[in-house]
Copies of this chain bind each other. A is one copy, B any other.
Amino acid sequence: MFHALATSTRRDILRRTIEREQSVSTLASEYEMSFAAVQKHVAVLEAANLIVKRAEGRERLVRANPEMIARARALLARYEELWRSRIARLDDLLAEKPASITDTTDVPRTEEGD
């Protein structure tokens, strides 16, 4: 899926099909490359479920699939969450350690016995 997003042409196709549903040839007319090249890019996006196609007469209308974009974003959000939990863990360590520096008995009963 990230692979499908890795090309600027494909991201551009995605952007256009978010804005409005359009046929493959309409899309192809927007780029310098051949129709077949664009058609293959569309196929890659379709395989990644980032777009869906709908038949209308001889045309194939392409529209973005917001569900999959959301999934990609959620995955990256999870990485950020991992990072935040790492920071949290470091904070925990920094919050705990000082006690064992000032007090080698390291018995955490101080709070419990209070």
Picked from B3, B5, B6, B19, the residue with its CB within 8 Å of the CB of A82 is B19
Contact call A18/B79, Cβ cutoff below 8 A: yes
Say whether, besides A2-B6, A6-B6, A64 and B83 are in contact (CB < 8 Å). Answer: yes
Picked from B2, B15, B20, B79, the residue with its CB within 8 Å of the CB of A15 is B79
Please report the total number of A residues contacting B with Cβ < 8 Å. Answer: 23
Greatest chain B CB density within 10 A among A3, A20, A64, A86 is at A86
Chain A residues 52-88 with CB under 8 Å of chain B are 64, 66, 69-70, 72-73, 76-77, 79-80, 82-83, 86
Contact call A76/B86, Cβ cutoff below 8 A: no
